[in-house]
Amino acid sequence: MCPYRLVLEHVTSRWGVLVLIQLLDRPYRFSELRRAIGRVSEKMLTQTLQTLERDGLVHRDAKPVIPPRVDYSLTGLGREAAGQVRDLALWTERRMPDVERAREAYDEAKRA
């Protein structure tokens, strides 16, 4: 797989999109981020964060305190990618009625 396709897959994955959009607001601790996103397993969120960190999109700040505190935030590169992903999400929300009409027309044509 081409490297850019792999990054595109990471950024546009189900959880990657939600993590990036959520982190646009502010840094989050792991448990806060998991609650904010909802319905994501701890394992999946961990894998997603590690992947995005490896790609240079997410910064992991582990503070040496007890109990341990880890904050996640976007890097400059991550902020740029998240902005693009958010714009696509907003476009999807705005154009959903058109998509639904197209689906209905397609389904109707298939039935006929």
pLDDT in tens, 46-57: 999 999 999 999
Sequence-separated (6 or more) residues with CB below 8 Å from residue 79: 24
Percentage of residues of the chain with pLDDT beyond 90: 96
Q: Specify the 3-state DSSP secondary structure of 40.
A: coil
Q: What is the mean pLDDT of the chain?
A: 96
CA 32 remoteness from chain centre: 15
Identity of the amino acid at 63: K
DSSP 3: H
Query: What is the rounded CA–CA span in Å between residue 13 and residue 1?
Result: 16
The pLDDT assigned to 4 comes to 93
Rounded mean pLDDT, 39-66: 97
Six token digits for residue 30:
């792991």
Give the model's confidence band at 95: pLDDT under 50 very low, under 70 low, under 90 confident, else very high: very high
- Tracing tokens 């700040």 back to the chain, one arrives at 61
Sequence-separated (6 or more) residues with CB below 8 Å from residue 24: 74, 79, 82, 83, 86
